Chain A
Amino acid sequence: MTDDATPDDVTPGGITPGGDIGAAPTDPGHRKPLEVVDVRTGMFGVQGSGDTSGYGGLVHPVTMAYASPRPYGGWYDEAVDILAEVLAEAGVSFDAAINGVLVDPPFATSKYSELTLHVAPEHLVAVCQALRDDQDLRFELSLGVSGVHYPGDVGRELHAVYHLTSITHSRSLRLEVSVPDGDPHIPSTTTVYPTNDWHERETWDFFGIIFDGHPALARIEMPDDWPGHPQRKDYPLGGIPVEYKGATVPPPDQRRSYS
């Protein structure tokens, strides 16, 4: 598709006006390959079509990039190469440990690009060790663990996201580990980054990701006997309708959604 494509070009025959799950997602730039992580349906938020009524029945694939093509640009190429070397010395294959290297937004187009390494769970500790200890990488500061739940990303619903900073080299990167909902096991990184202790407990508490080898993986924010993991997408927000000046305001999760 060329840059001067008109909206008509992206809605050829056979696609419903509201968008079509079967259609190739429109590529917003250089983010390739895109993988469908969710499919959104509803009345609002139609894209790529002039019809905003919603009568077409909106079906919109939510896509996310998992890997960028080389060269990544900046210091990213060098850092990834060094990581591959260090991992090889430790007897870990780079291709087995890193499932994807993503630079988003692309380095060439933005000064705000970030490097994301999609790490296989079984090699996470080795990757962290290499990133922390090698003098050319030296990501000595971990800024914690954050969880994200993508119920539509089948086979890797639960993501644990680690943000590492190298004070020595003034660099930052992100590690992303995805595991299936049915087997949410990730090895604990507390042996490499002791600071991740509470952050992993928080991610267990909110998402139900089990960090194997954690010294005391217990709930941290919710009470110990709390059922469920509140930040998962299948956990309701809760709330009660509120009456105000004669009208009733429904709880936030039951209001009209435009997403």
Chain B
Amino acid sequence: MMQAQGRPHATKAPLDDSGLPTFEASGGDWDQIAAEIAELGEERIVVNMGPQHPSTHGVLRLMLEIDGETVTEARCGIGYLHTGIEKNMEFRTWTQGVTFCTRMDYLAPFFQETAYCLAVERLLGVADDVPERAQVIRVFLMELNRVASHLVCLGTGGNEMGATTVMTISFTAREEILRIFEMITGLRMNHAFVRPGGVAQDVPAGLSQEFARVEVEVRKYLKQLSDLMLANPIFTSRLKGTGHLSLAGAMALGVTGPVLRSAGLPYDVRKANPYCGYETYDFDVPTSTDADAYARVVLRLEECYQSLKIAAQCIERLEKSTGDPVMIADKKIAWPAQLAIGTDGMGNSLDHIKEIMGESMEALIHHFKLVTEGFRVPTGQVFQTVEHPRGELGAHIVSDGGTRPYRAHFRDPSFNNLQAVALMCEGGQVADVVVAVASLDPVLGGVDR
């Protein structure tokens, strides 16, 4: 009945299913469907999973051909969250671009912002002029963001297997980190805080104390998570040996990040090609050789501890450099707005408004030109990579010498890593598909951009 042309495929012509029996599951009716399928006596069926399925990490669509309980073919369908962010960036100034790329992988916004800003700074030729304090703030935000992102990965991964407590603990811990983000940037997500030339604003007073409190909390939750997961016989039997991806397979498919390191290669852009001064921080890159979903959980937990270690070093440096600039000195690039907390929330500081509106015509002109027109970036192209929680994130930025990016392309690790789904799932159990996809940790906002 299922001929070769009828196999599920993301890319082929629509399946001619006239004459094929089809079933639509709407929840709670699985027994009835199973009984009807059993009547047909057909072992091979095609299951369309998603794009609206709670265990596909958002809007991922999986097309599975299953023979009994065995997956014989697994294909991904993506594009359901494509919003044209790259195209939109070509119609905004270089500074406004940050507002767009932060929304790509919404669980790791600071990584897109930083990759983009580092690329723009290199095109401008000012990469070495960015203040040290701004780089420390970037590293601090990125490392806390890595912890938050890994916590979502572990939490949703656990939830998809039915372990709701793993999810509640992870999200409670993430909430603590989001509080720090809100304290620094004013927002929990979509911050647009890293800007070409530095960061939008200095960190507020009291950050050290807040971080000290949050670090203790997050470490406590991480301990709870490892206690709950790592020695749990159900958890281990479910994850060990599942979603295997060998080193050769990972390299051929360009899979990076924790999935590559779980196969034994200690490749981390922070070590291999440091940016933002990562070469001056003390941290380790954990690896494993088991190459399965369990090893990736262990690695992600360990990476959380390493990230907290880096964040603590950042706090030390921030305390030493209090009062230093956080934006490049070149006034042709530095955004003129000085932010301050007012009675109605965050806005331009009254001192700055007083200067441009009442004291200096030139300051007003400068402010107006830089905000509306923006700055020009010399012609050329740059590829800047950073170590994203999910792998190597690359920003390919092209300038034609104008006030807008000519082309901005992001090599998102989730997009690339999803190619490994077929290799990790085919030949395995259908229930293991969920575990394998969760161990890749795709975020569809980044996949589709």
Contacts and interface: CB of A to CB of B under 8 A. Distances in A.
Given A163-B411, A259-B402, 6 more contacts: A45-B402, A165-B385, A194-B253, A217-B11, A218-B11, A252-B88
A110 interface: yes
Interface stretch (A7-15, A166-174, A240-248): A166-174
B416 A237 contact: no
A143 B404 contact: no
B86 interface: yes
A105 B407 CA distance: 19
Nearest to B395: A146
A62 B396 contact: no
Interface of B: 9-12, 14, 78-79, 82, 84, 86-88, 90-92, 122, 125, 127, 251-256, 265, 267, 272-273, 372-374, 376, 378-383, 385, 392, 394, 396, 398, 400-404, 406-407, 409, 411, 415-416, 418-419, 448-449
A222 B79 contact: yes
B379 A63 contact: yes
Contacts of B91: 237, 252-253, 255
A258 B402 contact: yes
Contacts of A196: 254
24 contacts: A44-B373, A62-B379, A62-B400, A64-B380, A112-B127, A140-B251, A143-B254, A144-B394, A144-B416, A146-B407, A163-B394, A167-B267, A193-B252, A195-B252, A202-B415, A217-B11, A220-B10, A221-B78, A221-B448, A255-B91, A257-B404, A258-B373, A258-B403, A259-B403
Contacts of B398: 148
A204 to B, nearest CB: 11
A231 interface: yes
Interface residues of A, number: 59
Nearest to A218: B11
Contact of A195 (B254, B372, B380): B254
B48 to A, nearest CB: 16
Contact of A104 (B127, B255, B380): B380
Interface string A167-186: 10010101000000000000
A105 B125 contact: yes
Contacts of A37: 400
Interface in A204-247: 216-224, 230-231, 237
B254 A144 contact: yes
B383 A163 contact: yes
A38 B416 contact: no
A231 B404 CA distance: 15
Interface in A32-56: 37-38, 40, 44-45
Contacts, number: 139
A25 to B, nearest CB: 10
Contacts of A237: 84, 87-88, 90-91
B394 A252 contact: no
Given A140-B251, A141-B251, A148 B403 contact: no
A38 B264 CA distance: 47
A157 B265 CA distance: 39
A225 to B, nearest CB: 10
A195 B416 contact: yes
A62 B403 CA distance: 13
B79 A198 contact: no
Nearest to A232: B87
A170 to B, nearest CB: 6
Contacts of A222: 79, 82
Contact of A221 (B14, B82, B88, B92): B82
Contact of B254 (A193, A219, A258): A193
A143 B410 CA distance: 10
Given A172-B273, A221-B78, A258-B403, A198 B416 contact: yes
A110 to B, nearest CB: 7
Nearest to B392: A143
Contacts of B373: 44, 258
B400 A198 contact: no
Contacts of A140: 251
Contact of B396 (A142, A161, A197, A253): A161
A28 interface: yes
A165 B383 CA distance: 11
The winner among B84, B127, B272 for most chain A CB atoms within 10 A is B84
Contact of B383 (A114, A252, A255): A114
Contacts of A114: 382-383
A230 B84 contact: yes
8 closest residue pairs by CB, A with B: A195-B254, A259-B402, A218-B11, A146-B409, A252-B91, A221-B79, A221-B82, A216-B11
A201 interface: yes
A163 B29 CA distance: 49
B419 A198 contact: yes
Interface string A42-82: 00110000000000000000111100000000000000000
B396 A146 contact: yes
A20 B135 CA distance: 41
A123 interface: no
The winner among A64, A258, A259 for most chain B CB atoms within 10 A is A259
B397 to A, nearest CB: 10
A230 B78 CA distance: 17
Contacts of A104: 380-381
A218 B11 CA distance: 5
Contact of A45 (B14, B380, B403): B403
Contacts of B415: 198, 202
B265 to A, nearest CB: 7
B151 to A, nearest CB: 27
B3 to A, nearest CB: 18
Given A62-B400, A141-B251, A259-B403, A167 B411 contact: no
